Amino acid sequence: MHIGELCDRVALSQRTVRYYEEVGLVVPESRSKGGFRIYSRRHVTRLLVIKQMKPLGFSLEDMGAVLDSLDRAGADELRPEEAGELRQRLQLHAESVAERRAALEEQLEAADRLTATLDAAAERLSCLTAL
Amino acid sequence: MHIGELCDRVALSQRTVRYYEEVGLVVPESRSKGGFRIYSRRHVTRLLVIKQMKPLGFSLEDMGAVLDSLDRAGADELRPEEAGELRQRLQLHAESVAERRAALEEQLEAADRLTATLDAAAERLSCLTAL
DNA sequence: CGAACTCTAACGTGGCGTTATAGTCA
DNA sequence: GTGACTATAACGCCACGTTAGAGTTC
Protein backbone atom coordinates (compact mmCIF):
# COMPACT_ATOMS: atom_id res chain seq x y z
CA MET A 1 0.00 0.00 0.00
CA HIS A 2 1.06 3.63 -0.51
CA ILE A 3 1.48 6.27 2.17
CA GLY A 4 -2.04 7.63 1.77
CA GLU A 5 -3.79 4.40 2.64
CA LEU A 6 -1.35 3.75 5.47
CA CYS A 7 -2.07 7.13 7.01
CA ASP A 8 -5.82 6.64 6.65
CA ARG A 9 -5.56 3.34 8.50
CA VAL A 10 -3.55 4.62 11.44
CA ALA A 11 -4.81 8.19 11.54
CA LEU A 12 -1.44 9.89 11.29
CA SER A 13 -0.31 12.58 8.86
CA GLN A 14 1.92 11.80 5.91
CA ARG A 15 4.41 14.28 7.25
CA THR A 16 4.57 12.35 10.49
CA VAL A 17 5.13 9.03 8.76
CA ARG A 18 7.83 10.50 6.53
CA TYR A 19 9.49 12.00 9.56
CA TYR A 20 9.46 8.61 11.27
CA GLU A 21 11.30 7.26 8.29
CA GLU A 22 13.78 10.13 8.45
CA VAL A 23 14.73 9.12 11.99
CA GLY A 24 14.72 5.42 11.16
CA LEU A 25 11.63 4.53 13.16
CA VAL A 26 9.36 3.25 10.41
CA VAL A 27 11.13 2.43 7.16
CA PRO A 28 9.06 1.40 4.13
CA GLU A 29 9.53 -2.08 2.74
CA SER A 30 10.47 -0.78 -0.69
CA ARG A 31 9.80 1.91 -3.26
CA SER A 32 7.81 1.84 -6.46
CA LYS A 33 9.63 2.42 -9.72
CA GLY A 34 8.71 6.08 -9.55
CA GLY A 35 9.80 6.43 -5.93
CA PHE A 36 6.53 5.96 -4.00
CA ARG A 37 6.92 4.41 -0.55
CA ILE A 38 5.42 0.94 -0.22
CA TYR A 39 4.11 -0.34 3.12
CA SER A 40 2.66 -3.59 4.45
CA ARG A 41 0.37 -4.64 7.30
CA ARG A 42 3.41 -4.91 9.55
CA HIS A 43 3.91 -1.18 9.20
CA VAL A 44 0.31 -0.59 10.23
CA THR A 45 0.72 -2.50 13.48
CA ARG A 46 4.06 -0.86 14.14
CA LEU A 47 2.55 2.59 13.78
CA LEU A 48 -0.35 1.65 16.04
CA VAL A 49 2.08 0.59 18.76
CA ILE A 50 3.87 3.90 18.34
CA LYS A 51 0.58 5.74 18.68
CA GLN A 52 -0.03 3.93 21.94
CA MET A 53 3.39 4.80 23.31
CA LYS A 54 3.55 8.41 22.23
CA PRO A 55 1.29 9.95 24.87
CA LEU A 56 3.32 8.19 27.56
CA GLY A 57 6.07 10.68 26.90
CA PHE A 58 8.58 8.44 25.15
CA SER A 59 10.86 10.07 22.62
CA LEU A 60 10.96 8.60 19.13
CA GLU A 61 14.36 7.19 19.97
CA ASP A 62 12.98 5.47 23.08
CA MET A 63 10.16 3.98 21.06
CA GLY A 64 12.61 2.74 18.48
CA ALA A 65 14.47 0.85 21.18
CA VAL A 66 11.28 -0.72 22.52
CA LEU A 67 10.04 -1.70 19.07
CA ASP A 68 13.44 -3.12 18.27
CA SER A 69 13.37 -5.30 21.38
CA LEU A 70 9.84 -6.48 20.62
CA ASP A 71 10.78 -7.33 17.06
CA ARG A 72 13.80 -9.31 18.18
CA ALA A 73 11.77 -11.12 20.84
CA GLY A 74 9.23 -12.03 18.19
CA ALA A 75 11.81 -13.37 15.77
CA ASP A 76 11.81 -17.10 15.20
CA GLU A 77 15.45 -17.80 15.71
CA LEU A 78 17.48 -16.29 18.51
CA ARG A 79 20.78 -17.28 19.99
CA PRO A 80 20.69 -18.12 23.71
CA GLU A 81 23.15 -15.38 24.64
CA GLU A 82 20.92 -12.88 22.82
CA ALA A 83 17.89 -14.06 24.74
CA GLY A 84 19.37 -13.17 28.10
CA GLU A 85 20.29 -9.66 27.12
CA LEU A 86 16.95 -9.24 25.42
CA ARG A 87 15.06 -10.22 28.54
CA GLN A 88 16.99 -7.59 30.48
CA ARG A 89 16.06 -4.96 27.94
CA LEU A 90 12.40 -5.89 28.08
CA GLN A 91 12.53 -5.63 31.85
CA LEU A 92 14.01 -2.13 31.63
CA HIS A 93 11.37 -1.05 29.15
CA ALA A 94 8.64 -2.39 31.41
CA GLU A 95 10.06 -0.43 34.32
CA SER A 96 10.09 2.85 32.44
CA VAL A 97 6.51 2.21 31.34
CA ALA A 98 5.63 1.75 34.99
CA GLU A 99 7.26 5.09 35.80
CA ARG A 100 5.32 6.83 33.06
CA ARG A 101 2.17 5.22 34.36
CA ALA A 102 2.82 6.59 37.84
CA ALA A 103 3.41 10.04 36.36
CA LEU A 104 0.08 9.80 34.57
CA GLU A 105 -1.69 9.08 37.82
CA GLU A 106 -0.14 12.12 39.43
CA GLN A 107 -1.33 14.16 36.49
CA LEU A 108 -4.82 12.85 37.02
CA GLU A 109 -4.70 14.19 40.56
CA ALA A 110 -3.38 17.50 39.29
CA ALA A 111 -6.33 17.66 36.90
CA ASP A 112 -8.73 17.10 39.77
CA ARG A 113 -7.08 19.78 41.88
CA LEU A 114 -7.38 22.18 38.97
CA THR A 115 -11.05 21.32 38.55
CA ALA A 116 -11.57 22.04 42.23
CA THR A 117 -9.81 25.39 41.87
CA LEU A 118 -12.00 26.35 38.92
CA ASP A 119 -15.16 25.26 40.70
CA ALA A 120 -14.20 27.25 43.78
CA ALA A 121 -13.66 30.37 41.69
CA ALA A 122 -17.04 29.92 39.99
CA GLU A 123 -18.67 29.40 43.36
CA ARG A 124 -17.12 32.58 44.69
CA LEU A 125 -18.47 34.45 41.68
CA SER A 126 -21.95 33.12 42.34
CA CYS A 127 -21.88 34.31 45.93
CA LEU A 128 -20.71 37.77 44.97
CA THR A 129 -23.30 38.25 42.27
CA ALA A 130 -26.06 36.97 44.53
CA LEU A 131 -25.62 40.01 46.75
CA MET B 1 13.22 37.75 45.65
CA HIS B 2 15.48 37.24 42.63
CA ILE B 3 15.06 34.65 39.91
CA GLY B 4 17.38 32.13 41.56
CA GLU B 5 15.34 31.82 44.73
CA LEU B 6 12.11 31.75 42.75
CA CYS B 7 13.36 28.88 40.62
CA ASP B 8 14.57 26.98 43.67
CA ARG B 9 11.14 27.28 45.23
CA VAL B 10 9.17 26.09 42.21
CA ALA B 11 11.75 23.75 40.68
CA LEU B 12 11.83 25.33 37.26
CA SER B 13 14.85 26.52 35.28
CA GLN B 14 15.69 30.19 34.98
CA ARG B 15 15.43 29.84 31.22
CA THR B 16 11.88 28.60 31.59
CA VAL B 17 10.86 31.46 33.85
CA ARG B 18 12.45 34.03 31.53
CA TYR B 19 10.67 32.46 28.60
CA TYR B 20 7.37 32.69 30.46
CA GLU B 21 8.01 36.38 30.83
CA GLU B 22 8.84 36.66 27.14
CA VAL B 23 5.39 35.32 26.25
CA GLY B 24 3.68 37.39 28.95
CA LEU B 25 2.75 34.48 31.20
CA VAL B 26 4.69 35.42 34.35
CA VAL B 27 5.88 39.01 34.45
CA PRO B 28 8.09 40.13 37.35
CA GLU B 29 6.81 42.80 39.70
CA SER B 30 9.72 45.10 39.00
CA ARG B 31 13.44 45.26 38.34
CA SER B 32 16.35 46.12 40.58
CA LYS B 33 18.43 49.18 39.74
CA GLY B 34 20.88 46.92 37.94
CA GLY B 35 18.16 45.11 36.01
CA PHE B 36 17.57 41.98 38.13
CA ARG B 37 14.02 40.63 38.00
CA ILE B 38 12.14 40.91 41.29
CA TYR B 39 9.42 38.43 42.24
CA SER B 40 6.94 37.99 45.10
CA ARG B 41 5.04 35.10 46.68
CA ARG B 42 2.26 35.63 44.15
CA HIS B 43 4.64 34.61 41.42
CA VAL B 44 5.50 31.44 43.29
CA THR B 45 1.88 30.35 43.47
CA ARG B 46 1.28 31.33 39.85
CA LEU B 47 4.19 29.19 38.71
CA LEU B 48 3.00 26.27 40.81
CA VAL B 49 -0.41 26.42 39.14
CA ILE B 50 1.34 26.45 35.78
CA LYS B 51 3.36 23.41 36.78
CA GLN B 52 0.13 21.62 37.61
CA MET B 53 -1.45 22.48 34.30
CA LYS B 54 1.50 21.81 32.03
CA PRO B 55 1.34 18.00 31.95
CA LEU B 56 -2.32 18.22 31.02
CA GLY B 57 -1.25 19.36 27.58
CA PHE B 58 -2.25 22.99 27.74
CA SER B 59 -0.25 25.44 25.68
CA LEU B 60 1.28 28.41 27.45
CA GLU B 61 -1.36 30.57 25.79
CA ASP B 62 -4.14 28.36 27.15
CA MET B 63 -2.66 28.54 30.61
CA GLY B 64 -2.44 32.29 30.36
CA ALA B 65 -6.18 32.45 29.65
CA VAL B 66 -6.99 30.22 32.60
CA LEU B 67 -4.75 32.13 34.99
CA ASP B 68 -6.23 35.35 33.75
CA SER B 69 -9.75 34.14 34.48
CA LEU B 70 -8.74 32.92 37.94
CA ASP B 71 -7.08 36.24 38.72
CA ARG B 72 -10.13 38.20 37.64
CA ALA B 73 -12.43 35.89 39.59
CA GLY B 74 -10.26 36.46 42.65
CA ALA B 75 -10.28 40.23 42.33
CA ASP B 76 -12.20 42.16 44.95
CA GLU B 77 -14.23 44.36 42.71
CA LEU B 78 -15.96 43.14 39.60
CA ARG B 79 -18.74 44.62 37.57
CA PRO B 80 -21.86 42.44 37.29
CA GLU B 81 -21.63 42.21 33.50
CA GLU B 82 -18.06 41.03 33.86
CA ALA B 83 -19.11 38.33 36.31
CA GLY B 84 -21.41 36.66 33.84
CA GLU B 85 -18.86 36.44 31.09
CA LEU B 86 -16.26 35.32 33.58
CA ARG B 87 -18.42 32.48 34.80
CA GLN B 88 -18.82 31.32 31.22
CA ARG B 89 -15.08 31.33 30.73
CA LEU B 90 -14.52 29.34 33.90
CA GLN B 91 -17.04 26.81 32.69
CA LEU B 92 -15.23 26.44 29.37
CA HIS B 93 -11.92 26.00 31.13
CA ALA B 94 -13.41 23.34 33.39
CA GLU B 95 -14.73 21.49 30.36
CA SER B 96 -11.38 21.40 28.62
CA VAL B 97 -9.78 20.16 31.84
CA ALA B 98 -12.35 17.38 31.88
CA GLU B 99 -11.41 16.48 28.32
CA ARG B 100 -7.73 16.35 29.20
CA ARG B 101 -8.58 14.20 32.17
CA ALA B 102 -10.41 11.73 29.98
CA ALA B 103 -7.43 11.63 27.62
CA LEU B 104 -5.19 10.84 30.57
CA GLU B 105 -7.34 7.89 31.50
CA GLU B 106 -7.12 6.51 27.99
CA GLN B 107 -3.36 6.88 28.20
CA LEU B 108 -3.38 4.90 31.41
CA GLU B 109 -5.08 2.07 29.56
CA ALA B 110 -2.57 2.35 26.74
CA ALA B 111 0.22 2.03 29.32
CA ASP B 112 -1.35 -1.13 30.68
CA ARG B 113 -1.73 -2.62 27.21
CA LEU B 114 1.92 -1.87 26.55
CA THR B 115 2.92 -3.52 29.80
CA ALA B 116 0.96 -6.59 28.78
CA THR B 117 2.72 -6.64 25.42
CA LEU B 118 6.13 -6.43 27.04
CA ASP B 119 5.26 -9.13 29.56
CA ALA B 120 4.02 -11.41 26.81
CA ALA B 121 7.26 -10.98 24.87
CA ALA B 122 9.31 -11.76 27.96
CA GLU B 123 7.17 -14.80 28.63
CA ARG B 124 7.71 -16.04 25.11
CA LEU B 125 11.44 -15.66 25.56
CA SER B 126 11.33 -17.70 28.74
CA CYS B 127 9.52 -20.53 27.04
CA LEU B 128 11.96 -20.61 24.14
CA THR B 129 15.04 -20.61 26.32
CA ALA B 130 13.57 -23.28 28.56
CA LEU B 131 13.73 -25.74 25.68
C1' DC C 1 37.26 43.49 46.86
C1' DG C 2 35.55 38.97 45.23
C1' DA C 3 32.42 35.11 44.78
C1' DA C 4 28.00 34.21 43.44
C1' DC C 5 24.45 35.64 41.02
C1' DT C 6 22.08 37.69 36.99
C1' DC C 7 21.62 39.90 32.38
C1' DT C 8 20.79 39.71 27.07
C1' DA C 9 21.56 37.58 22.78
C1' DA C 10 21.86 33.82 19.93
C1' DC C 11 21.90 29.21 18.34
C1' DG C 12 20.21 24.20 18.90
C1' DT C 13 16.54 20.52 19.59
C1' DG C 14 12.34 17.46 19.00
C1' DG C 15 8.33 16.49 16.54
C1' DC C 16 6.14 17.64 13.59
C1' DG C 17 2.69 21.51 10.31
C1' DT C 18 2.70 23.91 6.17
C1' DT C 19 3.54 25.55 1.85
C1' DA C 20 5.84 25.19 -2.89
C1' DT C 21 7.22 22.83 -6.88
C1' DA C 22 7.67 18.84 -9.53
C1' DG C 23 7.05 14.08 -10.65
C1' DT C 24 4.00 9.45 -10.64
C1' DC C 25 0.08 6.30 -10.75
C1' DA C 26 -4.21 3.89 -12.72
C1' DG D 1 -4.11 12.07 -20.66
C1' DT D 2 -6.09 13.70 -16.65
C1' DG D 3 -7.12 13.89 -11.96
C1' DA D 4 -5.59 12.12 -7.67
C1' DC D 5 -1.75 10.90 -5.36
C1' DT D 6 3.14 11.29 -4.00
C1' DA D 7 8.14 13.14 -3.92
C1' DT D 8 11.70 16.26 -1.96
C1' DA D 9 13.05 20.56 0.03
C1' DA D 10 12.65 24.26 2.92
C1' DC D 11 10.83 27.24 6.29
C1' DG D 12 7.89 27.83 10.68
C1' DC D 13 6.43 26.71 15.41
C1' DC D 14 6.52 25.69 20.46
C1' DA D 15 8.82 25.31 24.76
C1' DC D 16 12.43 25.44 26.18
C1' DG D 17 18.28 23.79 26.83
C1' DT D 18 22.67 25.54 26.29
C1' DT D 19 26.55 28.15 25.74
C1' DA D 20 28.94 32.97 25.59
C1' DG D 21 30.24 37.29 27.32
C1' DA D 22 29.27 41.12 30.16
C1' DG D 23 27.18 43.32 34.14
C1' DT D 24 25.20 43.25 39.32
C1' DT D 25 24.75 42.20 44.20
C1' DC D 26 26.19 41.95 48.95
For every one of its 131 residues, what pLDDT tens digit does chain B have, with 9 covering 90 and above?
999 999 999 999 999 999 999 999 999 999 999 999 999 999 999 999 999 999 999 999 999 999 999 999 988 877 888 888 999 999 999 999 999 999 999 999 999 999 999 999 999 888 877 76
CA distances from B110 to A95, A105, A109, B113 (A): 15, 13, 18, 5
If 0-12 CB within 10 Å is exposed, 13-18 middle and 19+ buried, where does residue A31 land? exposed
- C-beta separation of A69 from A93 below 8 A: yes
Q: What is the chain B residue with the closest CA to A72?
A: B121
Those nucleotides of strand D lying less than 7 Å from any protein Cβ are 5-8, 10, 14-18, 23-25
pLDDT given for residue B128 in this prediction: 78
CB contact under 8 A, B122 and A70: no
Q: Which is nearest to A127 in space by CA: B85, B72, B87?
A: B87
Which residue spans within chain A are E strands per DSSP? 30-31, 37-38
Amino acid B67 CA to nucleotide D12 C1' distance, rounded Å: 28
